[in-house]
Amino acid sequence: MVTGLGLVTPVGNTVEETWAGLLAGRSGAGPITKFDATRQQVRFACEVKNFDAGAYIDRKEARRYDLFAQYAIAASHQAVMQAGIHQAPDLTRVGVVLGTGIGGMQTFEDNCRAFIEKGPDRVSPFFVPMFIPNMAGGLVSIRYGLKGPNFAPVSACASSAHAIGESFRMIRDGMADAMVTGGSEAAITGLTVAAFANMKAMSTRNDDPERASRPFDKDRDGFVLGDGGSAVVLESLEHAERRGATILGEVLGYGLSGDAYHISAPAPDGEGAQRAMRMCLADAEVDVSRVDYVNAHGTSTPLGDIAETQAVKAVFGDRARQLVFGSTKSMTGHLLGGAGALEFVIALLAATRGKIPPTINQVTPDPECDLDCAPNRMVERDVDVAISNAFGFGGHNATLAVGRFRP
């Protein structure tokens, strides 16, 4: 059961702000402000705006945390407070699994620069705990005294989807009563932007950032990098009921697979994605006829969007043309390791509120991406089951299914 939600995203710093922005079709993209991008091939991104770490963390303490950890703490605090899980009777049965694709990238860059330019004595004594990807989960567990299972999946852009899926399985297998899970990323840095740009993975629409991320559009030219954090509290039904917690929705199933194909390109016909989706639906014991919404991985890359479209057609057959297959990355950009958790929350909100966000920036239809992506429009529709896809470099695939709680 889902009993708590928290979001810090490029379109809002809470769940409700983000949801309102998505339904309105608001792009989170704009010129990069975090560093001087003048010499970069790509000079825009989907940054988090007006984030105040001091609302969640002592300001002196915050200086010892990389931004990816700050986002994770903020999102987790929102979810923990909504669920009240910090007041659970046995905190040894409450764990934390927060994923990230990269970890403390700005910390890494800053300390490399200090080491090269000023020598080893100028490397921060906080470098290691600030940089390592597992530290977000460690900080959240310390903050609330959560002593259950604790680790950090690092599987590129599938990281936080894996975090939620593994947390779901640990609760189902009796290893924990509840989990704080999700993920974060803060990779809008000079080195990261240069690296993705040089591999030709990102859009180069520097003159029109808000319309740069255009999943499934014929003229898409790459993804737009985004930052943020997302967290959910999962509990067993029995634990939630004993606490009198409000149940916001239900995780129904989880599937995962490996492409075993290429370090960055998807397998032909989305073969690995097909297996992840089929495993998820089998795990949930859900027929394809019940799925009304697929939150696509949909990064706005030429190959990736076609492969995922082909995968959905293969898995859903005729049903593929009756569901909404949309990508909210058109508004949030791609949060890399944080994307899966954000899109899980969006899928949950769609399933429980009967509204599906649009895929914006749809101008020229692509005949190879011909499913209904809710182009440039929010859709009001009863959603029985929603699924969310997350695929990472290296061939890592994860799919989650979610729906309303049905006692």
Catalytic residue numbers? 157, 297, 334
Residues 6+ positions from 198 with CB-CB distance below 8 Å: 41
Separation of alpha carbons 251 and 249, rounded Å: 7
**CA dihedral sign, ordered 239, 398, 298, 98:** positive
Q: Half-sphere exposure (CA, 13 Å, Cβ side) for 334? A: 29
Separation of alpha carbons 271 and 300, rounded Å: 19
Long-range pairs, 139-144, Cβ under 8 A, ≥24: 139/65, 139/69, 139/72, 139/73, 140/72, 140/73, 140/76, 140/96, 140/98, 140/180, 141/95, 141/96, 143/73, 143/76, 143/77, 144/80, 144/85, 144/86, 144/91, 144/180
Which phi and psi (to 5°) does residue 96 adopt? -140, 125
Separation of alpha carbons 201 and 208, rounded Å: 17
23: amino acid identity, one letter: L
Place of tokens 């979610």: 402
**Joined tokens for residue 17:** 């702000």
Separation of alpha carbons 103 and 154, rounded Å: 9
Residues 6+ positions from 251 with CB-CB distance below 8 Å: 1, 2, 164, 168, 234, 400, 401, 402
CB 339 within 8 A of CB 292: no
Between the alpha carbon of residue 247 and those of residues 85, 105, 128, 243, 333, the distances in Å are 12, 36, 38, 11, 29
Separation of alpha carbons 315 and 307, rounded Å: 12
